[in-house]
């Protein structure tokens, strides 16, 4: 059995190597399997990367920047009270097909209505197959969203319960991609509604061809992509796109050097200097909007005490951790909003490393001899966390000095995400990149209102001061006023210690010199439209 697996892996690698040489194929070495093929179900960039290729949103973001541009909506208007958004839809947009579905019409308003009602209508079979779990929609739009209605085949109207300043930016997130209502109706009739997530159909530049867990995701260019006629920067420039899933960063780099892939994502920081010196390779860097942390499960008896959380924070040698784990790509931080975004709090600073003070706090809280807990470590390289295992080991050693025994736990990435969303674990390492250029996104995930089934507040921390500031910031449109509210929210977060933040970070991608048109996109999924490879 083992020999058969090895032979199969060799055949797969040989096939990708040969395909990399073929005209019109781009192979990307990426780090993990997607936890879902439809980003409506996910908060992870591995899923967003898939949906970014296959699907479109009403509003898009220009690749490599934060500029909002028309997508499936050609234009939009906003009512004076900020409660009504009217979108005029693009004409002539074609749907992809697969072995079981051939579209009979173009994209229209019915598709927009279905896509959002799927995430809100509890009676819909498509809501039920996801168990109502649409974490990005719930966390970002669940509170202000009221309804979406069709007023004409090319017009939809969104009604909000209250003004929501980042609404248009939120619509660029891959989780807000538009699904085919006609495809859904066919699946419902056939009794296979779950295919809408496992066999996605979109209007994007690439169509999904094959997914093999822990091996590859294969796409082909969609020749009828609407952006081919409009000059969209997301238009496919290769016939085939392959994500070869390679968890080890060193192996990704080796494959890149052997031309088995042309782009390697999430390199080890230590490998970047040598890559810069390789004449066949190009390194792209970008300061990114990201948050990374260990968060405390407040429902756990020990962690419900703020003094314990303070002690655990003070016992971490953050300077050493960031130096070892992030090397030249990170700087210690205590602010939730990174300096790349407005609203960054410049006054909060990382806690001083002080094991003796931490021991006193534990004693005051009733744990003079410490206690045991599980510490979850991210199992894959992310732009916000280059080496989760090493970070966990350093924290484990720090906490041992104050009598706290940390048992390091990890899972396959998709399983890790699912369990974390269920609120499992005592102390869980997580992180995220901003998917749109507004501070609200990651802030909303820690509000009291996000403590609910399908919500993003998995740790069950609730601070009225924090939540009031974040929620008010989303109601006002003046950026200076919003910025001050976010600064106040970050102060409340810092004082109550629901998590320990790590670093402000830079991201890097290494490609071969034969690659043209690649732009490192640090908000949401990475587009590979517009990228070509020399023969």
| Per-residue pLDDT reduced to its tens digit, 341-373 | 899 999 999 999 999 999 999 999 999 999 999
> pLDDT (tens digit, 9 = 90+) per residue, 92-128?
999 999 999 999 999 999 999 999 999 999 999 999 9
Kindly list the distances between the CA atom of residue 309 and the CA atoms of 84, 223, 523, in Å, as whole numbers in the listed order: 43, 54, 31
**Residue 416's closest CA among 28, 34, 139, 133?**
34
Mean pLDDT for the stretch of residues 47-60: 97
Measured from the Cβ of residue 380, the count of other Cβ atoms closer than 10 Å reads 21
Higher-pLDDT residue of 464 and 66 is: 464
Quote the Cα angle for 121-127-132, to 5°. 95
pTM for the predicted model, two decimal places: 0.80
Residue reference for tokens 């674990």: 425
The pLDDT assigned to 319 comes to 97
User: Predicted confidence band at 535 (pLDDT cuts at 50, 70, 90)?
Assistant: confident
φ/ψ of 72, rounded to 5, equals -70, -15
The pLDDT assigned to 57 comes to 98
The pLDDT assigned to 10 comes to 37
**Residue 39's closest CA among 27, 61, 54?**
54
> pLDDT (tens digit, 9 = 90+) per residue, 372-386?
999 999 998 888 999
Q: Report yes or no: 413 and 420 within 8 Å, Cβ to Cβ.
A: no
Determine whether 35 is exposed, middle or buried from the number of CB atoms within 10 Å of its CB (0-12, 13-18, 19+).
buried
Determine whether 509 is exposed, middle or buried from the number of CB atoms within 10 Å of its CB (0-12, 13-18, 19+).
buried
> pLDDT (tens digit, 9 = 90+) per residue, 260-306?
999 999 998 889 999 999 999 999 998 889 999 999 999 999 999 99
User: Predicted confidence band at 66 (pLDDT cuts at 50, 70, 90)?
Assistant: confident
Return the DSSP state at 224. T
Domain map of the chain by residue range? 31-245, 290-506
User: Predicted confidence band at 1 (pLDDT cuts at 50, 70, 90)?
Assistant: very low
What's the rounded Cα separation, in Å, for the pair 94 and 420? 37
The pLDDT assigned to 309 comes to 98
For domain 31-245, give the fold.
Dipeptide-binding Protein; domain 1 (3.90.76)
> pLDDT (tens digit, 9 = 90+) per residue, 261-272?
999 999 988 899
> pLDDT (tens digit, 9 = 90+) per residue, 233-257?
899 999 999 999 999 999 999 999 9
Task: Render 47-71 in DSSP notation, one character per residue.
Answer: HHHHHHHH---SEEE-TTS--EEES
Handedness of CA 105, 108, 114, 119 (dihedral sign): positive
Mean per-residue pLDDT over the chain, rounded: 92
Determine whether 129 is exposed, middle or buried from the number of CB atoms within 10 Å of its CB (0-12, 13-18, 19+).
middle
CATH 3.10.105.10: does it fit domain 290-506?
yes
Mean pLDDT for the stretch of residues 88-92: 98
What's the rounded Cα separation, in Å, for the pair 362 and 356? 10
Is the predicted pLDDT of residue 5 greater than 50, yes or no?
Answer: no
The pLDDT assigned to 287 comes to 82
The pLDDT assigned to 382 comes to 85
Quote the Cα angle for 357-500-436, to 5°. 160
Is the predicted pLDDT of residue 414 greater than 50, yes or no?
Answer: yes
The pLDDT assigned to 224 comes to 98
Is the predicted pLDDT of residue 23 greater than 80, yes or no?
Answer: no
What's the rounded Cα separation, in Å, for the pair 454 and 133? 5
The pLDDT assigned to 435 comes to 84
Mean pLDDT for the stretch of residues 518-524: 87
């Amino acid at each position: 059995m083992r020999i058969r697996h090895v032979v199969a892996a060799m055949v797969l690698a040989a096939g990708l190597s040969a395909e990399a040489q073929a005209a019109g194929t781009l192979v990307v070495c990426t780090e993990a399997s997607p936890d879902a093929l439809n980003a409506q179900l996910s908060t992870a960039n591995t899923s967003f990367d898939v949906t970014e290729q296959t699907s479109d949103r009403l509003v898009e973001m220009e690749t490599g920047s934060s500029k909002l541009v028309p997508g499936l909506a050609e234009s939009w208007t906003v009512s004076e009270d900020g409660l009504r958004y009217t979108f005029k839809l693009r004409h002539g947009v074609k749907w992809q097909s697969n072995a079981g579905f051939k579209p009979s019409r173009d994209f229209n308003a019915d598709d927009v209505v279905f896509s959002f009602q799927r995430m809100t209508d509890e009676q819909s079979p498509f809501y039920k197959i996801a168990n109502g779990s649409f974490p990005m929609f719930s966390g970002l739009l669940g509170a202000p969203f009221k309804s979406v209605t069709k007023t004409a085949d090319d017009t939809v109207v969104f009604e909000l319960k209250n003004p929501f300043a980042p609404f248009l930016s939120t619509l660029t997130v891959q989780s807000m991609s538009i699904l085919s209502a006609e495809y859904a109706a066919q699946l419902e009739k056939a009794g296979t509604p779950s295919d809408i997530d496992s066999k996605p159909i979109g209007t994007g530049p690439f169509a999904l061809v094959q997914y093999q867990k822990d091996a590859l995701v294969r796409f082909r260019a969609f020749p009828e992509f609407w952006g081919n006629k409009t000059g969209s920067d997301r238009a496919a420039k290769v016939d085939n796109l392959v994500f070869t899933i390679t968890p080890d960063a060193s192996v990704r780099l080796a494959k890149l050097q052997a031309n088995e892939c042309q782009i390697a994502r999430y390199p080890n920081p230590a490998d970047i200097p040598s890559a810069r010196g390789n004449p066949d390779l190009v390194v792209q860097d970008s300061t990114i909007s990201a948050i990374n942390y260990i968060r405390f499960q407040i429902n756990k008896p020990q962690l419900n005490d703020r003094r314990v959380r303070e002690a655990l924070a003070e016992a971490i040698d953050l300077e050493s951790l960031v130096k070892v784990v992030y090397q030249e790509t990170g700087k210690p931080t205590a602010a939730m909003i990174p300096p790349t975004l407005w609203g960054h709090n410049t006054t909060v600073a990382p806690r001083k490393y002080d094991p003796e003070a931490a021991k006193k706090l534990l004693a005051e809280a009733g744990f003079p001899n410490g206690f045991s807990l599980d510490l979850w470590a991210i199992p894959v390289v992310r732009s916000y966390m280059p080496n989760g295992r090493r970070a966990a080991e350093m924290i484990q050693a720090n906490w041992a000095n104050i009598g706290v025994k940390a048992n390091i736990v990890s899972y396959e990435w998709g399983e890790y995400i699912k369990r974390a969303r269920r609120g499992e674990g005592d102390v869980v390492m997580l992180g995220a990149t901003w998917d749109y250029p507004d501070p609200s996104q990651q802030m909303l995930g820690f509000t009291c209102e996000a403590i609910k089934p399908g919500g993003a507040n998995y740790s069950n921390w609730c601070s009225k001061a924090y939540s009031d500031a974040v929620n008010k910031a989303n109601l006002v449109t003046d950026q200076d006023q919003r910025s001050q509210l976010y600064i106040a929210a970050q102060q409340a977060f810092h004082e109550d210690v629901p998590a320990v933040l790590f670093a402000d970070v830079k991201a890097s991608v290494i490609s071969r010199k034969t690659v043209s048109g690649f732009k490192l996109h640090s908000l949401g999924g990475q587009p590979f439209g517009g990228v070509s490879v020399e023969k």
